């Protein structure tokens, strides 16, 4: 089937209209709030993970606490984030829309596959010594931080190229944090990752809600 120039222009305009409506749907469904909330969660989690070893230094069970307390902190923060995300989605979604549900499911499946891959590799991982353990969890933190950046790049290819550059830029900065500022990685992640998420929320609020 041959498509003329005018028909091609109309088809492209239709795609742009759908993309624009989808962006507005995400914005008015509380997308800006969710990004800001998760940015705060990253910031608090990163700050806490960095300073917990300092706070428990000298405790008889400091090694155990260094592993347990950050995990508990992140579990509480993630649980709070999920509850807030659910409430925002229910309260701010003006109408039922398959896009919103699909985007939510996309995040769940993304992390489901991440944990599946880690579980498949875990039997072959051998950690010996405190230094190796610290490096292992630092790299795990980097993996967890770059997964949403991959989603940023994918979203950006369809919705806003600005998100592509955020995803690639933050990923590059995470690699710098791992290999250059490794002792301060979680502090680095708090400002870089948390700032990127919160900044995306402000981007959605200021650009996607525009008429």
pLDDT per residue as tens digits for the range 147-161: 888 888 887 787 767
pLDDT per residue as tens digits for the range 51-72: 887 776 666 666 656 667 888 8
* The pLDDT of residue 95: 47
CA dist., res. 84 & res. 131, Å (int):
36
Would the pLDDT of 4 be above 60?
A: no
Rounded average pLDDT over 157-183: 84
Tally Cβ neighbours within 10 Å of residue 141: 22
Q: Which of 94, 85, 105 is nearest to 31 (CA)?
A: 85
Asked which of 27-31, 48-52, 85-89 is least confident by mean pLDDT, the reply is 27-31
What is the overall mean pLDDT for the chain? 75
Domain ranges of the chain: 12-208
pTM for this model (two decimals): 0.70
């Amino acid at each position: 089937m041959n498509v003329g120039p005018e028909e091609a222009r109309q088809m492209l305009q239709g795609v742009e209209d759908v993309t624009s409506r989808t962006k507005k749907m995400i914005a008015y469904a509380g997308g800006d709030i969710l990004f800001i909330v998760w940015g705060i969660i990253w910031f608090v989690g990163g700050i806490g993970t960095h300073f917990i070893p300092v706070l428990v230094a000298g405790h008889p069970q400091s090694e155990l606490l260094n592993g347990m307390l950050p995990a508990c902190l992140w579990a509480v923060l993630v649980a709070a984030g999920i509850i807030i995300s659910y409430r925002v989605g229910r309260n701010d979604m003006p109408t039922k829309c398959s896009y919103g549900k699909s985007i939510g499911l996309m995040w769940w499946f993304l992390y489901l596959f991440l944990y599946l891959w880690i579980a498949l590799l875990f039997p072959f991982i051998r950690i010996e010594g405190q230094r190796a353990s610290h490096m292992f969890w630092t790299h795990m933190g980097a993996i967890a931080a770059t997964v949403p950046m991959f989603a940023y790049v994918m979203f950006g290819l369809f919705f806003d190229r600005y998100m592509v550059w955020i995803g690639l830029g933050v990923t590059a900065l995470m690699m710098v944090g791992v290999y250059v500022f490794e002792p301060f990685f979680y502090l680095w992640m708090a400002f870089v990752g948390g700032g990127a998420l919160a900044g995306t929320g402000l981007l959605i609020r200021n650009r996607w809600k525009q008429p």
